[in-house]
Amino acid sequence: MGVVTTEAQPGPRGTEVLLPELGPRRKHYVCGSCAAFTNVAVTFPIQKALFRQQLFGVRVGEAVQQLQRDGLRNLYRGLLPPLLQKSTTVALMFGLYEDFSRLLLRHAGGPELLTRSVAAVLAGTAEAALVPFERVQTLLQDQRHHGRFHNTFHTFGTLLREHGVRECYRGLAPILLRNGPSNALFFGLRGPIKRQLPEAQTRADHLVIDFICGGLLGAVLGFAFYPLNVVKARMQSQVGGAFPSCRAVLLTIWRERGCRVTHLFRGAHLNYHRSILSWGIINATYELLLKVM
């Protein structure tokens, strides 16, 4: 992964000069985008139930009942923002990681592990430019805003018209705190974990191993960074008003939920299972498309 293929071109005096092809660089973006699209289409209802748990601190049964009361018509309400956001951010995650790794390894020197970790953090930071999509998704999934915001484009327009660009980036801080470290751990651990699994003999074996590797990593990292997602959901459910810090929002949630750590992880078990499925699909689809393309 991350190896740039080359083709030989005739050089001076009959020597061969290896020139990089552009295709392999672009395909990481395309494969990442297609993998994310597949994942969102499959797991959106689970994500919506999880969001209700993060926002209201309810149990999974109550979250499912809320969705049932909303009706089938509203089940996929808010689907477009995560489709756009995830297909783009995962494309950036894989594509920029490869590009930054290539550039840093070529020009910065230093240990490869450190270089690739920095590349992963830079890729995660760049993904944060697409926070407005997460912002709109949050508002569309919150039933308290069903009467105010009609669809993705109406929500964007209302936020920009009434509150300005800054309102679209509410919740940026916890996303930055989440993206960089989780990317570094994902890319840093993916290879070692895969090497510990049985060697694949067929394409089906590769799919299963890539699914297990991606799902395991996604589930563990999703659990570890879960409180940041709780803070993000609370921050982004607000429209207008002050912009409290991550610490202030976390303390508010902490007090509201009885000052118990376990209550900060309400929904974490559902997130764990969703992450196994989501990142298993993403990693397996990404690696399959890389081989096909």
Contact status, residue 145 vs residue 239, Cβ threshold 8 Å: yes
Cα 242–178–253 angle (5° rounding)?
45
Higher pLDDT, 222 or 20: 222
288 CB-near residues (< 8 Å, 6+ apart)? 203, 206, 207, 210
What is the pTM (predicted TM-score) of this model? 0.78
Q: In the numeric block, which tokens belong to residue 18?
A: 């290896």
Contact status, residue 214 vs residue 282, Cβ threshold 8 Å: yes
Round the average pLDDT of the chain to a whole number and report it. 86
The CA R_g of the chain, rounded to the nearest whole Å, is: 21
Q: What is the pLDDT of residue 4?
A: 34
Q: In the numeric block, which tokens belong to residue 291?
A: 């081989």
pLDDT per residue as tens digits for the range 81-90: 888 888 999 9
Specify the residue for token string 């494969």.
Answer: 31
Q: What is the pLDDT of residue 24?
A: 63
Query: What CATH superfamily is the domain 26-292?
Result: Mitochondrial carrier domain (1.50.40.10)
Tell me how far apart the alpha carbons of residues 71 and 121 are, in angstroms, rounded to a whole number: 40
Residue 16, beta-bridge partner list: 10
Q: What is the pLDDT of residue 9?
A: 40
Range from 20-34, 53-67, 235-249 carrying the lowest mean pLDDT? 20-34
Domain ranges of the chain: 26-292
Residue 16 has pLDDT above 60, yes or no: no
Residue 219 has pLDDT above 80, yes or no: yes
pLDDT per residue as tens digits for the range 109-152: 778 888 999 999 999 999 888 899 889 988 988 888 888 998 88
Whose CA is closest to 91, among 27, 25, 33?
Answer: 33
Tell me how far apart the alpha carbons of residues 110 and 105 are, in angstroms, rounded to a whole number: 8
- For range 40-59, the mean pLDDT: 84
- For range 145-172, the mean pLDDT: 92
Residue 100 has pLDDT above 90, yes or no: yes
